[in-house]
Amino acid sequence: MCFGQSSLEGLEMMMNWKESRILVTGATGIVGSSLVEKLLHEGAFVVTLIRDWNPHSELIRSGDVQGTTVVSGELENFHTLERAISENDVDTVFHLGAQPLVGVALRSPLPTFEANIRGTYNVLEACRIHEKLVKRIVIASSDKAYGDVDILPYTEDMAPLGRFPYDVSKSCTDLLARSYSQTYDLPVTIARCGNIYGEGDLNWSRIVPGTIRSFFNNEKPIIRSDGKFTRDYIFVQDVVEAYLLLASHSQDKHIRGEAFNFSGEQAWTVLEIVGNIQKLMKCEHIEPTILNQASAEIRDQYLDSSKAKRLLKWAPLFSLEKGLVHTIEWYKDFMTRTSLEKH
């Protein structure tokens, strides 16, 4: 992967991760897999919390998992998290683990709340208990934490007002992180990202991987909504750089305890995203199927990232087109290989 450095201009350089001992929850997910790859490349000692062993996860498929200390367990189990931090002398925690799908949250709110809310306060409490060890904590929240508002784009001074199950779980994640920061002075920072896309996302119900797979198979992609819902999109490698930047400066008085939006700052409709993929894959002859059945979803969401630009000197290095080109090539290779393996 080609991680850039230009986003650090104006700040002291990102810390040297070679001496760090890092816990990554959600390590098998799209961001977790890329983050672990980056940290291993930098020479860090990485501990990964893994609930389910998915051989198709990029973390496992790439072999990166072999370079980590694996802790098997769930976010809902406090003692598993406490043991992971204590026994491995963890000094940095990237909490990315969650039930990440809006549709699953709608069908099964209780396990979503358990993973996303209980999981977050378990992580934070384990860090509080071992505050002499843990010096940096990055909590992955979401633009969903803001809920449905009348004025866009979202800015960090807006209150977290989630209404639907997934959104509420992310609002609570935010509030818990701020509570532990302000009450116990934990070195917490919060990242709120738009729709993350890129290599390694195997949640096919999401619009980018689902559309690419459909076109790859010469099938019509499925759009659950009317196609006019708007979102902003951010490439996974830009997210990894943002998380590392937050962790590097979590002791800074202007960064510690703060939430930051990370986004490409351009709203796209679902139909526009499908159209971009359609053009890049030369599949203009295949039209999507529009179900217009989306429920319990916010219609329009996009973020203002000026705070991250001002205080962190962060900016995305990938345009939507550049990110989609990387993503499409990864999925073509992945699906070709998995198809050959079946035979």
Helical spans, DSSP H, in 281-319: 306-307
Please tell me the least confidently modeled range out of 22-31, 67-76, 184-193, 334-343.
Answer: 334-343
Task: Flag whether 7 is in a domain.
Answer: no
The residue whose two tokens read 């070679």 is 18
* Cα-trace Rg, the chain: 19
pLDDT average, residue stretch 4-22? 66
Please say if the pLDDT value at position 8 is more than 70: no
pTM surpassing 0.95? no
Q: Is 331 noted as a catalytic residue in this protein?
A: no
pLDDT reported for residue 339: 72
Task: Flag whether 223 is in a domain.
Answer: no
pLDDT reported for residue 12: 45
The predicted-structure confidence for 46-59, as pLDDT tens digits, reads as follows 999 999 999 989 99
Please say if the pLDDT value at position 200 is more than 70: yes
What is the pLDDT confidence band of residue 11, given thresholds at 50, 70 and 90?
very low
Task: Flag whether 13 is in a domain.
Answer: no
pLDDT reported for residue 3: 45
Instruction: Determine the Cα–Cα distance for residues 284 and 332; give it in Å rounded to an integer.
Output: 18
The predicted-structure confidence for 206-233, as pLDDT tens digits, reads as follows 999 999 999 999 999 999 999 999 999 9
pLDDT reported for residue 341: 59
Please pick, among 146, 166, 180, 233, the residue that the annotation labels catalytic: 166
Task: Flag whether 217 is in a domain.
Answer: no
Task: Flag whether 307 is in a domain.
Answer: yes
Task: Flag whether 161 is in a domain.
Answer: yes
Q: How many CB atoms lie within 10 A of CB 268?
A: 21
pLDDT reported for residue 295: 80
CATH number at residue 248: 3.40.50.720
Instruction: Determine the Cα–Cα distance for residues 30 and 57; give it in Å rounded to an integer.
Output: 8
Please say if the pLDDT value at position 138 is more than 50: yes
pLDDT reported for residue 13: 55
Range of the structural domain that residue 128 is part of: 20-196+234-263+301-317
Cis peptide before 153 (omega within 30 of 0): yes
pLDDT average, residue stretch 234-262? 96
Q: Provide the number of structural domains found in the chain.
A: 1
How distant, in Å, are the alpha carbons of 26, 197, 302 from that of 340?
A: 28, 25, 39
Task: Flag whether 107 is in a domain.
Answer: yes
Task: Flag whether 306 is in a domain.
Answer: yes
Considering only CA atoms, which of 235, 229, 242, 228 is closest in space to residue 208? 235
